[in-house]
Chains A and B, each alone.
Chain A
Amino acid sequence: MARDFDVVVIGAGVAGAMTAYRLAQDGARVLMLEAGSRNPARAQMVGAYATAAAKTLHSPYGNPETDSMAPSPDSSASYYDQPPAPHTQYKSTYERRTGGSTWHWLGHTPRMLRSDFKMKTLYGGSRDFPPGMVDWPITYDDLEPWYCEAEHEMGVAGSDAEWDGLSGSPRSKPFPMSMIWPSYSDDWIAQRINGKKFQGTEYLVRSTPSARNSQLYDGRPPCAGNSICVPLCPIGAKYDGAVHVAKATAAGAALWEQCVVNKLDQDADGSVHTIHFVTYGGVQQTVTANLVVIAAHAIETPKLLLMSGIANSSGAVGRYLMDHLSKSVFGLAPDKLFPFRGPPSTSGLESFRDGDFRKRRAGFRVSLNNDGWSRKGAPYAEIIDLVGNQKKIGAELQAALFERVTRQVRLSCSVEVAPDFNNQVQLSGTTDALNIPHPKITFMPPDYSYRGLSQATKTMADMLRLLGATGVDLGSDDKAYDGAGHIMGTCRMGDNPKTSVVDAQCRTHDHRNVFIVGSAVFPTVGSPNPTLTLAALALRAAKDIARQLGAKPSSAKSSGGAKPKGPRR
């Protein structure tokens, strides 16, 4: 039977676009279906952000059509259906847009450590070790070549000397670009803490690998230090998924935007070939494919599976929702460190990510940030205080502002969240404008992760002490956390079809022709930012998908069927 496409990829973010690109390069007839759109264009978004009264993640991305017809937690505060505070909240959000949430990511690309793939084997057994913590079905060595591929595709800048062999995790190839240079404050902090120890662990500041050009790369300019990577790089020096959307379409893939997939049909033989979607105009239609790749991030992906009633014989779809617990601490350095220059963070500490302590508490990364106290409203809050309370104006105001803002320091942590069966995405009873259910979210950080958060706070407090910081603000609530924007889990990878959703190749156990790419498949998360790992997994899956397509040649190709030109609006 001739089908419209060899492969339909649902979601044109980084994972979907890289998969589509590789498959299109292999000659497959690929369609990307994207709920959002590519508009507004970058220049318009720069203008929108510059003129926005409130600077939020969504400020540049406002698009009345998408915000109304394909809302997201970025565009709508009520998008998540979750119990109100004081119940613990899931705080990370995402954008529905061509290129995905990489548009507003920070761009950090540390790899997972060798041990992150073997948590249960290495650290399991104690009463404090979370029952949901498992080994991945693949190892660091399995993924290492794909990390190199992903770094090449995205354009990662990093220091080989600092990262090769970190915690027993070697690199087989150098970074494509030399590191983004550490900021002045990074060096200043390193001089004061490197070599010192906190509870036996040595401080060592390292540059953070980033998908941010440190030179001309892949037709994109080097970082110019605009400092607004989050929410938007104004010049495209920071990688985003739109890069591979463009590469995929140049390689022959089709892209249909503003098409919201709302159901997948399962055939009698268990395969899935029919994809139902609705346009913003409300036109419900279908497209068929030999193979389906779901790349709709870790909340829309399980939502679609639950709406379709597929891939869930394990009962694990939507389960084990994770993030990283993030927390910022603040202080004033004795010297001027001149924040707000360069990317918001260029260095961090990796020493606290791994160790025997992971038998009872989570590991974490610490980031040194170049954005002063902007998380607390700087510099506007200082101006309001200096003018309103201290009655300073003119040169006196300028001098006081300079004195205060240039000494601001922010440290932040990213704490591993253990997988917990009860943290999950379900279908809400409320729906959006296209009658598609909102995600219902249940999330409570495990004690294992709270213990990691507590240790991270103590560590950062010690760092501020070593820096001689004054005006220290560690926050008043030990359990307060922010979202890291790292939405992971919900379709975990594993060898056992009874407890996991996809196998080691990202293929669903239940449907041989359905693959899931993205951070949804992470069984555990360690403490690094997830995008490089999900990109590596997507590239690895693309090879397996291509192999599967090759093993069974496309009937559309063999019948010479013409692919549809586009959806009816």
Chain B
Amino acid sequence: MNKPQKVSGKPRKVGSRSDLLKLLCEAAELEHGIACSYLYAGFSLKRELAEGGMTWQEQQTVRRWASQIYFIASQEMLHLALVWNLTTAIGGTPYYLRPNFPQASKYYPLNAALALEPFGPSSLRRFIQYERPQSVKPERNLKSLLTVAGEDAAEIEFSSIGELYALIESGFRGIGEQELFIGSPDQQMTPALIHFPNIVAVTNQASAVKAIETITHQGEGTRIDRDDSHFGAFVAMLKELLDSKSRGAGFAPARPAMVNPSSGLGLGYGASANAIDEPRAQQAAGLFDSAYSLMLRMLAWSFQVENSGIEAQVKEFCAVAIDFMPRVILPLGEGLMLMPAGKKYPGKTAGPGFGLTRHVMLPGEAKNARKLCGERLQELAEIAAALLENPLPEPVARSCTHLQQIASHF
């Protein structure tokens, strides 16, 4: 894959469909990768007092942090969906690929690595960098918040995702509307097809700008520093965490999950990923990757096809993919963090690698796409059944059972 073009530096003119599609792919990759990074931190937050490291009062705070992180991640997923609608509106196809974790800080113009890391000061500082608006209120004292004693205290400089969306918006505004919007309106995903009530169907310049504004207002493209943005939420969370830690030594809100796990080397992961070293956790992580990949393929297919005449199948694919998130992905992700990572990682638990391994794209023909999905679901249900033959943490077992139920109803 070619290295994406940097969006920082001198202003660029987005003068062609091709330019715009490249930028949309970059946005899709970023939204997607950032969502995974947030989910990983959310999975790592403890639920039960029996896990130790928190009082019941602190548990309330930890659950609130988790719900906020999951909420922000869900907004990133909405952003990805909006980017897909923007892409198909101008004749492209939904782009869901991305390099596996970790990604070096220079890969994107963020100057911040995309990594899978449990909740803590380090991951929160990274999230703040992703979400930093173009201007930050001086009273934030951001530099001191992002700096820890003993760490590099240099000024953090990076280009913002807001710049990327500004370029995308300039393309949608600058290129002639009639020339640009060649995608079929039937390709647009709407709330009638998917349980994403805030999704915007993009059919012209006005709706494209509305979709972009939805993204930038909520999240990482915001131009001004607002307490109610993702940035404001992560800053508040980091302050609260640092305050809590300064008050008491025993507070440990996160599970000791490893960093950048992979379900195995040579499966599409890069050399800098950390292969899980315990067979059962490795199998569960492999199931996670496969379920995650199938979910993405079903969603991407639903966003790509002209849905007229096949609405029922599009709805079904979307419903299964959305159902996967709370019933399969969430408990499996959390449950992996209750499984030992293996001898190579003493004291650490495993985690999901969000591996996008080699797979075939679903065909445009609806009947065949359904057949491929059905067969793959059955295969995953069989893997889940095999895992269930041995004792598993409760969330992992629950996820496997849900997967079997979904497969049996498909």
Contact between A219 and B64, CB atoms less than 8 A apart? no
Contact between A216 and B197, CB atoms less than 8 A apart? no
Contact between B228 and A224, CB atoms less than 8 A apart? no
Shortest beta-carbon contacts, A-B, top 10: A224-B67, A216-B228, A222-B71, A235-B64, A43-B57, A181-B197, A221-B68, A178-B198, A43-B60, A219-B227
Contact between A234 and B197, CB atoms less than 8 A apart? no
Contact between B56 and A187, CB atoms less than 8 A apart? no
A189–B159 Cα gap in the complex (Å)? 47
Which residues in B have their C-beta under 8 angstroms from that of A182?
197
Closest to A341 in B: B326
Q: Most B CB atoms within 10 A — which of A187, A215, A217, A225?
A: A215
**Any A CB within 8 A of the CB of B233:** yes
Which residues in A have their C-beta under 8 angstroms from that of B67?
221-222, 224-225, 235
B226-239 vs A: 1/0 string, CB under 8 Å? 01111011001000
Closest to B71 in A: A222
Given A221-B67, A222-B68, also A234-B60 (CB < 8 A)? yes
| Main secondary structure on A side of the interface with B | loop
Which residues in A have their C-beta under 8 angstroms from that of B71?
215-216, 221-222, 224
Given A218-B228, A221-B67, A222-B71, also A181-B195 (CB < 8 A)? yes
A219–B68 Cα gap in the complex (Å)? 12
A219–B75 Cα gap in the complex (Å)? 18
- Nearest-neighbour CB distance to chain B for A209, whole angstroms, equals 14
A184–B198 Cα gap in the complex (Å)? 15
Closest to B197 in A: A181
Q: List 5 A-B contacts (CB under 8 A).
A: A182-B197, A224-B71, A234-B63, A234-B64, A235-B67
Given A47-B56, A216-B233, also A187-B195 (CB < 8 A)? yes
Given A178-B198, A181-B197, A221-B71, also A215-B228 (CB < 8 A)? yes
**Any B CB within 8 A of the CB of A46:** yes
Which residues in A have their C-beta under 8 angstroms from that of B229?
216
**Any A CB within 8 A of the CB of B283:** no
Which residues in A have their C-beta under 8 angstroms from that of B57?
43, 47
Apart from A43-B60, A216-B228, A224-B71: 12 A-B pairs, beta carbons within 8 A: A47-B56, A47-B57, A178-B197, A178-B198, A216-B229, A218-B228, A219-B228, A221-B67, A221-B233, A225-B67, A234-B60, A235-B67
**Any A CB within 8 A of the CB of B111:** no
**Any A CB within 8 A of the CB of B378:** no
Closest to B217 in A: A215
**Any B CB within 8 A of the CB of A28:** no
B276-313 vs A: 1/0 string, CB under 8 Å? 00000000000000000000000000000000000000
| Interchain pairs with CB closer than 8 A, number | 54
Which residues in B have their C-beta under 8 angstroms from that of A181?
195, 197-198
Count contacts on B: residues with CB < 8 A to the other chain: 21
A42-84 vs B: 1/0 string, CB under 8 Å? 0100110000000000000000000000000000000000000
B55-99 vs A: 1/0 string, CB under 8 Å? 011001001100110110001000000000000000000000000
Binding site for B on A (CB under 8 A): 43, 46-47, 178-179, 181-182, 184, 187, 207, 215-219, 221-222, 224-225, 234-235
B3-45 vs A: 1/0 string, CB under 8 Å? 0000000000000000000000000000000000000000000
Contact between A224 and B64, CB atoms less than 8 A apart? yes
Which residues in B have their C-beta under 8 angstroms from that of A222?
67-68, 71
- Nearest-neighbour CB distance to chain A for B131, whole angstroms, equals 12
Which residues in A have their C-beta under 8 angstroms from that of B236?
219
- Nearest-neighbour CB distance to chain B for A161, whole angstroms, equals 10
**Any A CB within 8 A of the CB of B218:** yes
Which residues in A have their C-beta under 8 angstroms from that of B63?
224, 234-235
Which residues in A have their C-beta under 8 angstroms from that of B70?
224
Which residues in A have their C-beta under 8 angstroms from that of B68?
216, 221-222, 224
Closest to A222 in B: B71
A225–B63 Cα gap in the complex (Å)? 12
Which residues in B have their C-beta under 8 angstroms from that of A225?
67
B232 in complex: contacting residue of A43, A187, A216, A235, CB < 8 Å: A216
- Nearest-neighbour CB distance to chain A for B296, whole angstroms, equals 22
Which residues in B have their C-beta under 8 angstroms from that of A43?
57, 60
- Nearest-neighbour CB distance to chain A for B375, whole angstroms, equals 26
Which residues in B have their C-beta under 8 angstroms from that of A207?
197
A221 in complex: contacting residue of B56, B64, B197, B218, CB < 8 Å: B64
Which residues in B have their C-beta under 8 angstroms from that of A215?
71, 75, 218, 228
A215–B79 Cα gap in the complex (Å)? 14
A224–B229 Cα gap in the complex (Å)? 17
- Nearest-neighbour CB distance to chain A for B192, whole angstroms, equals 10
Closest to B70 in A: A224
B205-246 vs A: 1/0 string, CB under 8 Å? 000000000000010000000011110110010000000000
CB under 8 Å from chain A, chain B span 186-205: 195, 197-198
A218–B197 Cα gap in the complex (Å)? 22
Which residues in B have their C-beta under 8 angstroms from that of A218?
228
Closest to B323 in A: A184
A49–B75 Cα gap in the complex (Å)? 31
